[in-house]
Amino acid sequence: MPAMSKATNASRPAHRPTKTPGVKKTSAPTSQSIHTNTNQHPELVASSQTPPTCNNPHADRIQPKKEAGGKSTDNSANKGKQTEGGGRKAIEAGKELIKEAIFEKLDSKIICSTNAFRVADLGCSVGPNTFHAVQSVLDAVEQKCQGQGHNSQLPEFQVFFNDHASNDFNELFKSMPSDRRYYAAGVPGSFYSRLFPKAFLHFAYSSYSLQILSKVPGEVVDVNSPAWNKGRIHYSKSANHVVKAYEAQYAKDMDCFLSARAQEIVSGGLMAFVVPGRPNGIPHAEVFVNMAKELFGSCLMDMAKKGFISEEKVDSFNIPQYIASLEDVEAIVKANGCFSTETMEILSGDKPQPKAFASGVRSGMEGMIQKHFGKEIDLDHLFDLFRQKLEESSSILESKKFVSLFVVLKRRSATE
């Protein structure tokens, strides 16, 4: 693996001056395309570029294996984009890092050799963060191309917004910027499986989505397993068997994700993602996001002890999220073998406010909670209790920073 261009464990300040000058924007496409019909758009099913062979034996896998025990999850319904926890600050810092990556890591030949530069936002939810992120990518590509004197070779842009079919794509498209300079399409489906034709994408991006597992590890809801997670809804303070089950599920899911993208991204193309993170060497229980989940679990147990909900329901409820470290991600990328690591950084976020954080968690999780507990649970009471516990623990929580991992990967060529 080539040496990483950034320090792997140093905090990045939230705002950085843009290194590239402003460029006059091109006019919007004359037609605004929102489609997924590949019969009408053959570019969605054919590509002249053949991807290099990937050493991973699972690179052609279309769908992640469904194992007994765990329930599959929804990329967007469970996340709420995590911006309530300081993620907005990291997203802004990430925009500048994306521009740097495009200027320094993306070969101009990739931009100028195609009629359409194709970008995917994986786990897009309903905006508006997705539109800001996409625009940052396109601005950087335009600036790079024009800065090198390729004005006449500027490609058109296609942007694909991906999330599960249950995502409100109608709301997404209704809120789309009217002055956008790209053709847009919605692509429903799990990003842990194939979504696009081979060698189709030039840049893939994911924001606060990859911490969500494809399913709860089966072992943690199996009463006969040593990893049964009785009385807890998360792994951070659980027995080592539980932690290992979550860790293994995350590794499987990320391998599926990388293998699918390896088929879809052109040789030399880039992928960037930002997720809630854990600094190397920091215990799971000392991470702000995990500490908040433990408090949330204690709220459910309190309600169970008072008879508001059943304890059995709490025992069978686990949050399908894993907060990885840079070491975790680096090891998975290396084992997969299809990408080189170009950038890995830790971005520090703002200290979340209890009321705003509780509100953000509710927007991301209430659907999952309602589905599991049914009508017996009073969501208003649950999240009021959660907010109170956050406020009572504010002195402890304030000592913990919300951090995010920012990663840029490049699709390896056949000769690497």
d(CA 304, CA 313): 9
CA distances from 103 to 18, 20, 110, 182, 300 (A): 12, 9, 12, 20, 48
For the chain, the residue count is 416
pLDDT in tens, the chain (416 residues): 444 443 344 444 443 333 333 333 334 443 333 333 333 333 333 233 333 344 454 444 444 433 334 544 544 433 444 444 556 777 778 888 999 999 999 998 898 888 999 999 999 988 688 898 999 999 999 999 887 766 667 899 999 999 999 889 999 999 999 999 999 999 999 999 999 999 999 999 999 999 999 999 999 999 999 999 999 999 999 999 999 999 999 999 999 999 999 999 999 999 999 999 999 999 999 998 999 999 999 999 999 999 999 999 999 999 999 999 999 999 999 999 999 999 999 998 777 777 888 888 998 899 999 999 998 999 999 999 999 999 999 878 877 778 899 999 999 987 66
d(CA 331, CA 260): 18
Using N-to-C axis directions, what is the helix angle for 129-147 and 87-105, rounded to 10°? 20
> CA torsion angle for 243, 246, 250, 252 (degrees, to 10)?
110
| Cα–Cα nearest to 128, from 164, 180, 85, 165 | 180
* 39 exposure class (CB count in 10 Å sphere: 0-12, 13-18, 19+): exposed
d(CA 214, CA 135): 28
| Cα–Cα nearest to 4, from 253, 311, 329 | 329
* 26 exposure class (CB count in 10 Å sphere: 0-12, 13-18, 19+): middle
d(CA 281, CA 321): 19
Domains observed in the chain: 11-23+31-281+322-351+402-411 (3.40.50.150)
Which two tokens mark 352?
């979340």
- Residue 76 corresponds to which amino acid? S
**What's the predicted TM-score (pTM) here?**
0.81
SS (H, E, C) 243-257: HHHHHHHHHHHHHHH
Coil vs helix vs strand at 404? strand
Contact 160, 119 (CB under 8 A): yes
